[in-house]
Amino acid sequence: MLRLSQIPEDVQPSRVESNQDGVKIQWSGDAHESFYPWGFLEFYLKFDKRTPESFELEYFGAQGPHNSRSWPPSLNYGDFSTSETEAVGRLTDFIRRNGFAFVTEVPVESAEPTEKLLEKIAFIRQTHYGGFYDFIPDLALADTAYTNIALGAHTDTTYFTDPAGLQAFHLLSHTGPSIQSNVGENLGGQSLLVDGFYAAKILKEEDPKAFEVLSRVKLPWHASGNKGITISPDKLYPVLEVDETTGKMHRVRWNNDDRGVVPFDSQYSPAEWYKAARKWNDILRRESIEYWFQLKPGNLLGKCVAS
C-alpha cells in the first residue's frame, strides 16, 4: 500500500487495459499497477459509502416479540464445537435482532469456559472493573452490581464516550453463603430485560414532545463512586441518541445513578426534561414490556448494552 505522500501530484495513467473483470491501470513514475473491478467502479460512481446490511429489529415485551415461534432466542454451548463460525453467526444475529440471546449448558465448574466462549465473539474490553471478571455480591467495589439489591431497567457504562456494546452474564453458582442460610432466602438471579428501542418507539408514538426533549437535551454522565476513579465521556449526550442520517434510534443512555445535573442552558427547561423523563420511566416500568426471567447456572446471557 502506498502512502499518500508517495504519489506525485502530476501522476497520470501510462497504460490502461480492460477485460470482463475490470480495469487495470499502470501509473506514470514508478509504473505501479492498480486493478479496479467493474462492480467497484460502478458502485462508487453512484454512492460515496457502503450501506450497512439491512435487517428488521424484533421488538420484545413481557411475552417476547409478536408472532414469535421460538422464545427466548438461544443456542447450545455444544453448537460452538460442532460449527464455531455458524454458532457465532447465529448468536450475534440473535443479539442484533432481539437485543439479547442465551447460550445454554455452559460449564460451571470454573469461569474459564465462559471466558473462552466470549473470546470467540470478540476481544474482551478492559475497563476500570478489569476485563473478564467473576465476583460475589460483597460490595468489593462501590457499585450496586456488587449487591443483592434489585435494580430497575438501566443501561451500563453511560459514562463512556463509547459505551460497551455487548455484555454477558453467567450465574456460576446459586447457593447461599453458608449452611445457616434461611430457607426460602432470595439468592438472586431474578433478572429483568427491557427493550430500550421498543420503549423509545412507544414514547415517540404516545408523547412526541417527550421523545424530542430526551433526544435533544444533552446531559453530563459520570462514574465516581470508587476512590481514585472519575470517568466521564468526551461530551454531553442525550438519553435517546438518534442517527442524524437515518433518523433511527442509535443508542439509549439511561442510568439515574450515573447522570449529572440537567443543564439550564438548553432550549428546554429542566422542568420539561423531568416531565419527559417521568413519562419515559413510566413506560420502562410497564408490565407489558418487562421481560423477567431467572438466571441459572449454565445459562449465559449475552445482550446489547445500549444500542
Q: What gap in Å lies between CA 182 and CA 178, rounded to an integer?
A: 9
Quick one: pLDDT band at residue 197, thresholds 50, 70, 90?
Answer: very high
Q: Tell me, what's the pLDDT at 131?
A: 86
Whether 204 has a pLDDT exceeding 60, the answer reads yes
Q: What gap in Å lies between CA 60 and CA 291, rounded to an integer?
A: 8
- If you count DSSP H runs as helices and E runs as strands, how many of each does the chain have, helices first? 7, 11
Identify which of 160, 190, 152, 117 has the alpha carbon closest to the alpha carbon of residue 283: 152
Contacting residues for 70 by C-beta, under 8 A, at least 6 apart = none
Q: What gap in Å lies between CA 272 and CA 257, rounded to an integer?
A: 20
Q: Which three cell numbers stand for residue 133?
A: 471478571
Q: Tell me, what's the pLDDT at 90?
A: 95
Is the link from the previous residue into 72 a cis peptide, with omega within 30 of 0?
Answer: yes
By the 8 A CB rule, do 172 and 296 touch? no
109 burial (CB, 10 Å; 0-12 / 13-18 / 19+) is: exposed
Q: What gap in Å lies between CA 209 and CA 143, rounded to an integer?
A: 34
Q: Tell me, what's the pLDDT at 135?
A: 67
Q: Tell me, what's the pLDDT at 226?
A: 72
What is the share, in percent, of the chain residues with pLDDT greater than 90? 64
Q: What gap in Å lies between CA 102 and CA 299, rounded to an integer?
A: 6
Adjacent-strand bridge partners of 146: none
pLDDT in tens, 243-277: 988 889 999 999 988 999 999 888 999 999 999 99
Which 3 state secondary structure label does DSSP give 42? helix
Query: What average pLDDT score do residues 195-215 get?
Result: 97
